[in-house]
Structure 1
Amino acid sequence: MLSFFILGFFSLVVQVLALRELSGLLTAHEAALGLGLSAWLLWTAAGLALVLKNHRLQERLNGSKGLLSACVLFVLAAGINFILLRKAGILLKPGLPPGLLELIIFSFALTLPTALTNGICIARGLSEKRVAFYWAETFGAAVGGLFTLFNSAFFPGTDPLLITGTVALALIFSIADIPLTSARKLAPAALTCVLFFGGSRLTPPFALPGLFKTAEAYARTTGSRMAILESSGQKTLIEDGGVLIQLPLTEQTEVSIQLPMLAHKKPEEILFIGPAGLFLAAEAQKHKPKNITVSDPDHFRTEFLIGRAGMKPEGIRLERTDARILLNARPGAYDLIFQTVPEPLNAAANRFFTLEFFRKAGASLKTGGILAFTLPFSENYLPPERAYFAASILATAAAAFKYVEPAPGGRLTVLASNSPMDLAPETLARRCAQRKIHNHYAVPANLPFLLDPYRRQWALAMLAKAKKPPLNTDLDPVAYFYLWKMWLAMFVSPGTLTGLALISVALLLLSSRLLRPMELLRDKESAGVFIAGFWAMGFEVVCLFMFQTYSGQLSWKMGILFSAFMAGSAAGAYIFKTASRLMTRAAALILALALTTWFYVYAPGLGAITPLQLFLLFMVLLSAGGFSLGAYFAAATGGVDNKAVRLYYSDLLGAALGGFIFSAALIPLAGLRASLLWAAGAIIAGLLIESFGHAAAITD
């Protein structure tokens, strides 16, 4: 049983670390996690089908030698997969958000080797001692999820290849009935060492767009992947594949700090949100404020930036609290708040551009206080999608503040306040002289040009072309509008449509030839489990995305959240393994519907609770969701082993489809909260299947 435990541990750790690498490759976009999870389940189902439909392969996997062969295949595929993830960055352009086609291709291609062989291992484990395998593998996965949490919190810099390589060796040597010194173990162990420990010496240690691969320093932190690139005396600080800041500061960066500082009559209490504030604070210090606070909860990231960028944060108070929590705790505390996140490329960044955030910031400002942030912009040509994106953010800010003033340039500097702001060039020039400020670019002579009314009018005219831009909210984030809704509505190229069509055809052929889903859906039980799996994965994906929106901590708590769902599923399957089949299936679906309904009703208020309460709540929600699925699955199988494997297969296919549809379509287009209505619809469909099936049985 030890080998099954280690297999579960290895599988979960590899899954979490691979999905984390995949997300980081794609600008840390959460949709990559959802699509990657969907792809993982699909390829796992394919691996399971590969064994179930091939009797010769089943015979080769029998016994301890067969188990060792399956595990070695899994281990080697995982090592190759991690190396592929690291090298995939050469196919990406730096700083650009991935489109839907890129997300789908990378998510499905870069999870295939590991997930397929994971399915083969599961098929081998289920071929004998099914109950023992299930419990040992599930317990190992739960411990693996806890391990990933400690990894991110305490030693995030450890290379995933070193971690997984060590566990891989333990898995190989744990197989019983084969001597430790046997060539059957020593040969794959040696190959594992070369692949994992040798691969850990490759640079860069994680995927970066091709332009950034020559970075001089790298670091994995609790929530990010950092790199520093130096060229021609300019240091570029990179976070998750996008530019965080450039040193020395560019003209536009200086202007974006100096304009808000000069717009305030007497700036004394300053807050910078985000790690870039470590470098921007020096600009604010020219005005001699009383206090400057920089909020960055990731202390590994802060230490890396301070140590590698060669700066000393003198006169700055570092706050380890998440900025949204900090704002809740300090109403009316600040004269100026600088939100330094470059743009909402993902939900973790988008949570600082939403209506809810702007309201929190407004409540934390003193009378006359100003919130300042910047957005990507161009004064020569503003693409329609960028105009739509910026217009949505400005409309959102205008819904939270009485006064919103855009200052166009290389980036669009936005000033928002609940008090009138005097941005007359002569006023700012006078304050600049009174405070004895010495700038390079934001000097009195340049202020009339920087604040030219014509430039402002042109920018507003470009933004006005976006008709009725939607507000960016926590539960309906603009990052997904930007990447999907507008993209699908207005900017789909023929090449992209062709690519999506080819992917659809390929998946259809795979399904028809290998997975053969229609064979599984011919009976009521398989169809019911398929729908339950569809709901469960959709519910889980919404939970994960919403947890990220409210906490920003999904990247490093993902593993333990996965484990909560799996533990709940195992508990449901165990408790109801001998219960009444019809009543249990109905009760499980009703519980799922109740969970979905509760989540839909109370989701808007979850941002007000403490981080610990939020984490525990989502652990409970995911555990309860897993419990519903496990109970339904146990009732559907009725304790029959042969039926369990077939229904587990149906569950995997339903979950894969649910993860794909919710991640690629429903959440981006309908929003997080509205997606729960679709999840509820799936449960209602399941209840109808149960009702009609029961009525037919009575009639017969």
Structure 2
Amino acid sequence: MAGSGSMGRHLTAIGAAGWASTVAQILMLREIFVQFYGNELSVGIVLFFWLLWTAAGSALAPRLFGKFPAVSASRRWSSLIPGLLSAYALAMPITVIWIRGARLLFHIPRGDVPGLGQTILLTGATTAPLCLLFGFLFGSIWMAAADSTPKGRSGLWIYAAEAAGAGIGGLTFYFLLLPRCTALEAAILSGWVPALAALITMGRAVGTGPAVALAAAWLMLASLWAAGGRLESWSRSWVWGSGLVRSVDTPYHNITVLQGQGQQSVMIDGLWAYSIPDPQGAEDAVHLALLQHGHPQKVLVLGAAGPEILRELLRYPDLRRILVVDPDPVLLSMSRLDREDPTVGFHCDDIRRYVRRAEDCYDVVLLHTADPVTLALNRFRTVEFFRDLDGLLCSGGVISVTVSGGEEMLGEAQIRLVSSVLGALDHVFGDRVLYPGSRIRLVAARNPGILARDPEILAGRAERRGLALQYVRRDRLENLLDPLRQAYFDQVLAAAPPELNRDGHPVGFLYALGWWTARTEGGASGDWIGPMTSPAFRKIGAAVVSAVAFLLLIWLVFGPRLPVERGAALAVFSVGASLMVLQIVLFLAYQIWEGALYTAMALLVTTFMTGLSAGALAAHCFVDKPGGWARAKQALLVAHAGLAALALALGWTFGRGAPSWIAFPSRPWALVFFCAAAGGMGVLGGAHFGLSCLVCKIRSGKGAAGPRLYAWDLAGAASAAMGGTLILLPIWGLSGAGWACAGFLAVTFAALLRSLRLR
């Protein structure tokens, strides 16, 4: 039996690995999100492969462990761990470079949007090495600790230390590395943590192989750091080409500036935001909305839109106030004019939080955010957000919203996308005008009779205000507002009335996802989205899921009883899947009602990981105690039932009536509520995993169950990362997702109850 020094080295190793894995996951999500022009589909794919490869690596370790003689197993694993840590240290910066170069290796032209198949292939290829390595490292440390500490304590300490290291890594990245380092620099610096842990864990009896690996890792990390600036420039140019002017990572976005064809284009998270100069885009954004108001004096711009829009706004001599709101100070600084103007102001805040709490009113509101291709962007196209905007308008005020469309015709996926935005807008505002174009512009007002559809009226207002416009001219207004063209758009959009896009039921994201897949893969690939958006599909789907769950419950209750390890594995799988979905529900709910998720996410994740660590350590109460086996089984059932109850409570909380009573007096109280929910989930999840490992170890007398159960936990989370994001949340909403998790946990509770032989 190894002493406390051996266990200390194992905890150091897994803590450093957990720290580095969290930083690596954040970096990979950000890099792939940018390189493949991602939305929640790409994020779901990343999480799916991340968890799947990690689960595979973790499951592989016990298989190899069984091939070693028992007398030499611990020594072999202990000598292998420093080498694995050294390899992981190097894999972090190499993976960032590999992601950026993948488009070149797979011959995807610069500027082309990868299709769904290419995104899946590239994501699977780029995530495999690092994630397989981490999973194998986790399993190796677990097996070494379990072999050297046979009392059942080691595995729980390993799981707790990994969760604690992951939480600290998330905080360190968001608050220290992200504001000061590029992604590649952050990866190199983070690689030093497992490299240092490899040095600490290397015992005297370790052979020359791990020592050589560690020396090579330290040398290569130092070389990468010395060449970091050039590597950053080269790797960015692999993605954007020679026209790259600047690329910077902020706590909110990746912002890239490209030079080409006499323009500078600003890309946010890989998607086009605006170009300079773009006189037609600036005129359309400003004058199509402001000409609809009789005498605009105060204008609110939501989202940083570039200095050209501000110059166009300043052509109105009667404007007294222009305010630009965006959470990213870098984007706000890029929107500033060459000279200061007292009329223009900038406010750094989350858009939704500002809109909800603003006390001033505005004549015109220009919403400059992208299509709802992510759940984060979808919150700017919901009924609730439009209601908040309506509350900001002065008497006779108008708002302007854009959505991807077409000049003459709309495809099926585009019709669904535009109609989802239009339906939410029409539900709140009494009148609106549609301007066709590659970006359809919708101008809405509270009451009928405010908006003009006569080109003569709009052109006359421009002339009286002394506006000599180059693109918003009389003839173009006649073309945009042509009755036949307007009749076509009214007809095709009325033929596909969508369900209302709401905060708690984000169907607009599903329509945008269909448009995104149709755009990248062709029209046929988006057809799988259409049926999912209908109420009938949801009712049929709910009936099918309920029937399958009922049959599974009957089989689990009256069929053959599962062995303890299989029953625990099924329970751990269901808990892993449910925790992933509930985390996404918490993130989305906080973002909807409070915004500014970017730094809050670090706190929520850290609270959750701290809860996991605390819950796993709590399972030690049942080690070597009288009646520990029976008490551990009872506590495991309580933890499982507690998670089901928590999922049910969150489903009820985030139902349709939730926002009326979640009236937090200030943001700190909201953060306390969500952190408490995340921490509670973590404690129950950590205790459930720790108790499952303890029950299986006591039952079998072996420590190999830990890595296998960890693999089942990650497999459940992987399935939920895709299914929860793409199906469960958009189709059944926040409350439906909570209730679905509660139902799944209830079914697996029956299997766990029988496998533990409790009546």
TM superposition score normalised by structure 2: 0.80
User: Shift of the alpha carbon at 1:93?
Assistant: 7.4
User: Shift of the alpha carbon at 1:563?
Assistant: 2.7
Q: Does structure 1 retain, via aligned residues, the 8 Å contact 2:19–2:166?
A: yes
- Structure 1 pair 183–107 and aligned structure 2 pair: CA distance change class (3 A): closer
Distance 2:136 2:383 in 1: 47
Q: Does structure 2 retain, via aligned residues, the 8 Å contact 1:165–1:197?
A: no
State the partner residue of 2:148.
Answer: none
User: Shift of the alpha carbon at 1:24?
Assistant: 2.9
Instruction: Please tell me whether residue 575 in structure 1 is matched to residue 618 in structure 2.
Output: yes
| Structure 1 stretches lacking a partner, 5+ long | 498-518
- Structure 1 pair 644–340 and aligned structure 2 pair: CA distance change class (3 A): same
User: Shift of the alpha carbon at 1:293?
Assistant: 0.2
Distance 2:720 2:681 in 1: 14
| SS of structure 1 residue aligned to 2:244 | coil
User: Shift of the alpha carbon at 1:554?
Assistant: 4.3
Distance 1:549 1:525 in 2: 36
State the partner residue of 1:47.
Answer: 57
| SS of structure 1 residue aligned to 2:313 | helix
Q: Does structure 1 retain, via aligned residues, the 8 Å contact 2:515–2:526?
A: no
| SS of structure 1 residue aligned to 2:290 | helix
State the partner residue of 2:638.
Answer: 587
Q: Does structure 1 retain, via aligned residues, the 8 Å contact 2:285–2:309?
A: no
Deviations 1:369-417 (A, max 9, x none): 1010212221233211011100111011001111121111342111111
Instruction: Please tell me whether residue 656 in structure 1 is matched to residue 740 in structure 2.
Output: no
Instruction: Please tell me whether residue 13 in structure 1 is matched to residue 38 in structure 2.
Output: no
Match of 1:84 among 77, 87, 98: 98
Deviations 1:506-555 (A, max 9, x none): xxxxxxxxxxxxx9997322222222222222222333344444455445
In structure 2, give the amino acid aligned to 1:229.
Answer: L
State the partner residue of 1:137.
Answer: 162
Instruction: Please tell me whether residue 163 in structure 1 is matched to residue 189 in structure 2.
Output: yes
Q: Does structure 2 retain, via aligned residues, the 8 Å contact 1:47–1:116?
A: yes
Q: How does 1:28-39 map to 2 (within 5 A)?
A: 28-39=38-49
In structure 1, give the amino acid aligned to 2:633.
Answer: L
Q: Does structure 1 retain, via aligned residues, the 8 Å contact 2:306–2:334?
A: no
Match of 1:600 among 651, 662, 687: 651
State the partner residue of 1:421.
Answer: 450
In structure 2, give the amino acid aligned to 1:581.
Answer: A
Q: Does structure 1 retain, via aligned residues, the 8 Å contact 2:420–2:499?
A: yes
In structure 2, give the amino acid aligned to 1:5.
Answer: G
Distance 1:566 1:354 in 2: 32
Match of 2:578 among 525, 535, 549: 535
User: Shift of the alpha carbon at 1:651?
Assistant: 2.1
Distance 2:110 2:34 in 1: 12
Match of 2:85 among 68, 71, 87: 71
State the partner residue of 1:384.
Answer: 412
User: Shift of the alpha carbon at 1:97?
Assistant: 7.4
| SS of structure 2 residue aligned to 1:523 | helix
User: Shift of the alpha carbon at 1:79?
Assistant: 2.7
Distance 2:55 2:75 in 1: 17
- Structure 1 pair 485–266 and aligned structure 2 pair: CA distance change class (3 A): closer
Give the percent of matched residue pairs that are identical in Structure 1 and Structure 2: 24
Q: How does 1:204-243 map to 2 (within 5 A)?
A: 214-243=243-272
Deviations 1:87-115 (A, max 9, x none): 23456678887765455444433321111
In structure 2, give the amino acid aligned to 1:109.
Answer: A
Q: Does structure 1 retain, via aligned residues, the 8 Å contact 2:571–2:748?
A: yes
Q: How does 1:443-482 map to 2 (within 5 A)?
A: 443-444=473-474, 446-465=476-495, 467-477=496-506, 478-482=508-512
State the partner residue of 2:691.
Answer: 635
Distance 2:242 2:733 in 1: 35
Give the superposed CA RMSD.
3.4
Instruction: Please tell me whether residue 122 in structure 1 is matched to residue 138 in structure 2.
Output: yes
Distance 2:726 2:34 in 1: 18
Distance 1:83 1:658 in 2: 28
Match of 2:569 among 511, 521, 526: 526
Q: Does structure 2 retain, via aligned residues, the 8 Å contact 1:218–1:225?
A: yes
Bigger mean CA offset, 252-261 vs 48-57: 48-57
Q: Does structure 2 retain, via aligned residues, the 8 Å contact 1:45–1:649?
A: yes
Distance 2:79 2:647 in 1: 45
Deviations 1:160-205 (A, max 9, x none): 3343244354344433436999645322211233456546633557
Distance 1:671 1:95 in 2: 34
Deviations 1:474-519 (A, max 9, x none): 223212333159969994449999xxxxxxxxxxxxxxxxxxxxx9
Distance 1:212 1:315 in 2: 39
User: Shift of the alpha carbon at 1:273?
Assistant: 0.4
User: Shift of the alpha carbon at 1:155?
Assistant: 2.8
| Structure 2 stretches lacking a partner, 5+ long | 1-7, 146-153, 530-561, 623-630
User: Shift of the alpha carbon at 1:211?
Assistant: 6.0
- Structure 1 pair 22–205 and aligned structure 2 pair: CA distance change class (3 A): farther
| SS of structure 1 residue aligned to 2:304 | coil
Bigger mean CA offset, 354-363 vs 408-417: 408-417
- Structure 1 pair 222–206 and aligned structure 2 pair: CA distance change class (3 A): farther
**Count of residue pairs brought into register by the alignment:** 673
In structure 1, give the amino acid aligned to 2:136.
Answer: I
- Structure 1 pair 36–543 and aligned structure 2 pair: CA distance change class (3 A): farther
Distance 1:690 1:485 in 2: 42
Match of 1:177 among 197, 203, 207: 203
Distance 1:558 1:37 in 2: 16
Distance 1:137 1:416 in 2: 52
In structure 2, give the amino acid aligned to 1:483.
Answer: L
Distance 2:472 2:753 in 1: 71
In structure 2, give the amino acid aligned to 1:122.
Answer: F
